[in-house]
Structure formats: structure tokens, C-alpha cells
Amino acid sequence: MAGRDRATMLFTTKYGARPTGLVRAPGRVNLIGEHTDYNGGYVLPMAIERAVWIAFRPRSDRQVILRSEAFVDDARIDLDQLTRGEGWAEYAKGVAWAMEKAGNRLRGWEGVIASDIAMAAGLSSSAALGIAIEVVFAKISDLGWDPASFAQLQQLSENEWVGVRSGIMDPLIVTGAHKGHAMLIDCLTFKGIHILIPPEASIVVMDTGTRRNLIEAGYNRRRSQCETAAARLGVTTLRDVTMTQLDDHKADLEEPLYDCAMHVVSENERTLAAADALRRGSLGEFGSLMNESHASLRDSFGVSSRPLDAIVEVAQT
């Protein structure tokens, strides 16, 4: 059963009535441009057909009650007393906190969440959930919808409430994707360019079967290393560094910092080249750049795994 149908059915079962609204937020894959978003660089993601669905109806108070097919316990949120806790409800609380911090007066609602995005699999399930919740709040509270602004609020909620120092890429592609297109995003200006994916191209997404927790997986440590490298090089972000400049200052960076910086700087160059190749329909060139990206992630940035390396090796043969 499709996600929208499951959300509607579960809502009707729980509340004895059909929902008054239904929203969808897609997952995403990033074709190239890994760990460049929080360094002010370029990324080239695209939305996927899998998504988070929320069936909902408004309440007359400032309470939010959420049920998810993925969790046993409901999330209950008092918008007048937002306090940190534990569990999946923190993602919803973080969204509410960020939206109210931006000056929005939110209204209560109750909803049921259904999703076919695998969690902790690199498909941006958390950003999709957060954006879907934002859309419901916007509809319920009669707020205007601005994709870039709401993407920044989603990032703020993860950074400041949940405790993951995530970048802007995920919320920007979730809010701004176009069907059949990748999106070249400048993560410094938040501007994006939609690039048509050639119809003869097939994008295959494979699951290694391994799962991660961003808070525990060294993500924050890597980000801190990138920030330290940028400071040593006298720039705000690694986006402002060229490969020539990096080589000239190699002595100023110990090995972990240099390796991180080398990946980010070279990945920015690859991402721009890949976007150009995609525009020209040069899929062979695009694939070669993806291969180079994986090698850099594995050898310089240290974020690959044996299952992922094995999948890449099979795909290349």
C-alpha cells in the first residue's frame, strides 16, 4: 500500500474520521558533492520517489499529537512548553521551536505519519520528516511558504535542537526539487539550478544494509575538522580554497586536516564539472567523476565502508 494510502487509513482508524489534509515530502540522493554543503560548496542532489506522508487535521488548542507507523509511542507536543527530551518526537519539537523562533505563531494539529524512506540510509529521512511537519504547520497556521526560508528553519532545528550539525543541502532539495531534474545547489547563497537528467540515464540507488546515527557516526567531528582547516588557511569556508592554495599550505595542516580539506576542495571542482557533463548529456564523463568522488571519500575523507566499497566495485565492473 502506498504511503499516502497508509497515512490516510491509519488516521481514519485512529480518529474515526478522514483527515482534512495530506502532505508529502520526498527523500533524496546526492549524485555528487559529498560533505561540501556545510563547507559552503556545491552539491548535486535529486529527489527520489520515496517520501514521508502526513495525514492531519487541525486542533483548537496548541497541542500537537503525532503517530508514526515506525514507532510505538505517540509524540505529544505542547507548543507553549517546548522542552527537550529523547526519542523521535524531538524532530517535531525542533521544527516547532525553529518556526516559533522565527516569529511564527503556530496552531495545534494531530496527524499520522507514513514513510517508505529507509531511515539512517543516507536518503534524508529526517529532513523529509522535518519539512513535511513544516508544511503541515504552514497550512494549519496560515503561513506563507518560501522554500529557501523553510529549508533554513529545518537546518536550524537539526543543528540547535536535535544536535546534528547538518548542512543546508537536504532541506533545500526536499523543498525545491523538480521531477526528472537534479539540482546544482550553491550552499553559500542557497541558490539552485535545475538540470534535466537525460532520459536515457537510469539512476540506481542501492542499499548497503548498514545504518548510521549522525550524532554518533563522527559527522560532527569531520565537520569540526573542516572548520579548523579553513581557519588555519585563513578563510571562512573551504569553498574559498583552490587545490593550488591547499598544496602551497600543506605544511600548515596535519594529516587529518589536510586530507579532509583535500577532499572538500577537489569535490567542489568535481561537482561543477559533473553538473556541466550532465547538461551536455555526457553520462560517461559524469560516471567517471562519481567514481573519483567515491575514491576521495574513501581515501581522503575516511567515510566509506566495506559494504559500500563492494557495491561500488560491482557497479564499476
Q: What is the pLDDT of residues 38-72, one digit of tens each?
A: 999 999 999 999 999 999 999 999 999 999 998 88
Active-site amino acid positions: 170
Mean pLDDT score of the chain: 94
- Angle, in degrees to the nearest 10, between helices 125-140 and 169-176: 60
pLDDT tens per residue, range 155-206 = 999 999 998 888 899 999 999 999 999 999 999 999 999 999 999 999 999 8
Provide the pLDDT for residue 215: 47
DSSP, collapsed to helix, strand or coil, labels residue 163 as coil
Is the model's pLDDT at 244 over the cut of 60? yes
pTM for the structure as a whole: 0.90
Is the model's pLDDT at 141 over the cut of 60? yes
| Percentage, residues of the chain above pLDDT 70 | 98
Place of cell 502526513: 54
Mean pLDDT in residue range 237-248: 95
Provide the pLDDT for residue 217: 58
**Where do the domains of the chain lie, and which CATH numbers do they carry?**
3-196 (3.30.230.10), 219-316 (3.30.70.890)
Residue at 148: amino acid letter = A
Residue at 39: amino acid letter = N
Provide the pLDDT for residue 211: 73
Q: What does the alpha-carbon distance between residue 13 and residue 9 come to, in Å, rounded to a whole number?
A: 6
